[in-house]
Amino acid sequence: MKLEMKDTPGQLVAALKPISDVGGNIIAVIHQRDEINDGDILSVQIVLEISEKKLPELIALIKGQGVNILRIGQERLLYKQTVILIGHLMHTDLGDTVDKIDCTGFAEVTELNIAMPAINQPSSAKIEIKSVNKTDMEKALDILRDVATQKNILIIEPLEEMS
């Protein structure tokens, strides 16, 4: 599951408690506070085991806590594309660039490798993007192209055929 909630004390516990209430087992919780986020929103990824029959009840309980469920289920991002970005990636907020794709709901950056030769030299990053389908991949790449134009970043694409 990928959840989005207000970054307030007790909100994470409120989102996790329904999992045990319906007999689910939490395997991992990944969250990172984003100090730049104006809306004080916390993004949380949860790996869990739960009976399919209990899933509707769990969804209702989590939503009842005021938590937004962004994604639920097994692997759904079936198409993959890898590109290279070159430019002042850290100075132009690489996190923001990734977020522009991740927040779409139909595509995500699933892998990022960055090389930074010196503080005032351009960086390069290899980014793997996965999407629901080929059309959504093209939309995600269009978003990346727009952001790259705004931030004066060079994109080298594609490194492989869309799969």
Q: What is the pLDDT of residues 109-139, one digit of tens each?
A: 989 999 998 888 999 999 999 887 788 899 9
User: Whole-angstrom Cα distance, residue 85 to residue 157?
Assistant: 9
18 has a pLDDT exceeding 90? yes
Q: What is the pTM of this model?
A: 0.54
pLDDT digits (tens, 9 = 90+) for 62-114: 989 988 888 777 555 668 899 999 999 988 898 889 999 988 878 889 899 99
Q: 2-71 domain in CATH 3.30.70.260?
A: yes
Identical fold, 2-71 and 79-156 = yes
148 has a pLDDT exceeding 60? yes
> Reading across the β-sheet that carries 68-71, which strands appear in turn?
25-32, 41-49, 2-6, 68-71
35 has a pLDDT exceeding 60? no
| pLDDT on residue 160 | 61
What number is the average pLDDT over the span 17-25?
Answer: 92
| pLDDT on residue 4 | 85
User: Whole-angstrom Cα distance, residue 79 to residue 161?
Assistant: 10
| pLDDT on residue 34 | 55
Fold classification of 79-156 is Alpha-Beta Plaits (3.30.70)
33 has a pLDDT exceeding 70? no
| pLDDT on residue 162 | 53
Domain positions in the chain are: 2-71, 79-156
